[in-house]
């Protein structure tokens, strides 16, 4: 989105959220320049000229799409929550559940952003801080800790299972029972997998790549364990296990042999 939008002037702004439209009425978004688009953990930040930032969070079902003018949308108009247009691109936020405008000067004081742990996509990355935050949750299962954005920012449920498979760690192991080398390996795998999921530079807005933690070019073999409960492990052939865990009862997948 940064490559497609940054440096361009907003020609159209719409939202179904009254809080956003009130700000847009008082401080028009149309005519402003989009200065940058960035992410902090799972928070998405669109910075406009004039000290204004649109913060959105996708949670489970939200997403931003980019379209050329006149292109057919992949989701229905009834799902649109925010729309931002520049001369040659339309950014459409579908079913975005959490959105607000904040002043750039208030960014460092924002409660949710301040609470985030180290962002796994940031360089430089503070591995020591990441380890300390993980150790602070010693009595919890590593699978639950990886989903805690106050510990590490950026891991979702799908990546959680894939990271622990690649690291060879049983998801239900308490953090206190893992060695520093285990935690360091988990963090290294997490950074590797998340960075691999970021699209390479491309002039095409339609280029699509699913997550491919296996590094296989076969689209049917993109993931190691996630969503594959009851099926054979791609590495050893053992049956992939699945179990609902944590307060949100999210499904965790693992291989009982590779993650012994």
> Does the predicted TM-score (pTM) go above 0.85?
no
pLDDT values of the chain reduced to their tens digit, one per residue, 260 residues: 999 999 999 999 999 999 999 999 999 999 999 999 988 877 899 999 999 999 999 887 899 999 999 999 999 999 999 999 999 999 999 999 999 999 888 876 777 777 788 989 888 899 999 999 999 999 999 999 999 989 998 898 999 999 999 999 999 999 999 999 999 999 999 999 998 877 554 444 444 455 779 888 788 889 999 999 999 999 999 999 999 987 778 899 999 999 98
Distance of CA 17 to the CA centre of its chain: 22
* Residue at a domain's end among 85, 114, 143: 114
Asked, as a colleague might, if the bond just before 106 is cis with ω within 30 of 0, I would say no
Chain centroid, CA 132 distance in Å: 22
Residues whose CB falls within 8 Å of the CB of residue 123, separated by 6 or more in sequence, listed in order:
none
Residue 156 shares a structural domain with residue 230: yes
Three-state SS sequence of 142-195: HHHHHCCCCCCECCCHHHHHHHHHHHCCCCCCEHHHCCHHHHHHHHHHHHHHHH
Percent of residues, the chain, with pLDDT higher than 70: 95
How many structural domains compose the chain? 2
Residues 92 and 174 in one domain: no
With a CB cutoff of 8 Å and minimum separation 6, the contacts of 183 are 131, 134, 135, 175
Task: Give CA–CA dist 227/220, Å, rounded.
Answer: 12
Domain holding 99: CATH number? 3.20.190.10
190 Cβ contact list (under 8 Å, min separation 6): 120, 146, 152, 154, 155, 159, 163
Instruction: State the residue range of the domain holding 201.
Output: 127-254
- 109/179 same-domain check: no
Residues 97 and 170 in one domain: no
Q: Are residues 238 and 143 in the same domain?
A: yes
């Amino acid at each position: 989105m940064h490559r497609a939008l940054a440096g361009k002037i907003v020609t159209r702004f719409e939202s179904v959220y009254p809080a956003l439209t009130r700000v847009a009425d008082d401080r028009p978004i149309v005519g402003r320049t989009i200065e940058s688009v960035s992410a902090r953990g799972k928070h998405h930040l669109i910075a406009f000229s004039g000290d204004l930032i649109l913060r959105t969070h996708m949670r489970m079902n939200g997403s931003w799409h980019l379209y050329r003018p006149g292109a057919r949308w992949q989701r229905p108009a009834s799902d649109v929550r925010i729309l931002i247009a520049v001369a040659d691109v339309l950014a459409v936020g579908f079913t975005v559940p959490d959105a607000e405008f904040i002043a750039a000067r208030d960014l460092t004081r924002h409660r949710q952003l301040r609470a985030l742990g180290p962002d796994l996509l940031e360089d430089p990355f503070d591995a020591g801080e990441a380890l300390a935050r993980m150790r602070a949750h010693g009595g919890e299962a590593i699978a639950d800790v990886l989903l805690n954005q106050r510990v590490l920012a950026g891991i979702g449920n799908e990546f959680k299972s894939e990271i622990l498979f690649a690291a060879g760690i049983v998801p239900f192991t308490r953090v206190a029972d893992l060695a520093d080398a285990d935690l360091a390996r988990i963090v290294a795998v997490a950074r590797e997998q998340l960075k691999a999921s970021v699209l390479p530079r491309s002039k095409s807005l339609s280029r699509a790549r699913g997550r491919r933690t296996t590094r296989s070019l076969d689209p049917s073999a993109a993931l190691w364990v996630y969503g594959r409960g009851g099926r054979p492990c791609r590495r050893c052939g053992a049956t992939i296990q699945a179990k609902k865990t944590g307060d949100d009862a999210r499904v965790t997948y693992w291989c009982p042999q590779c993650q012994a």
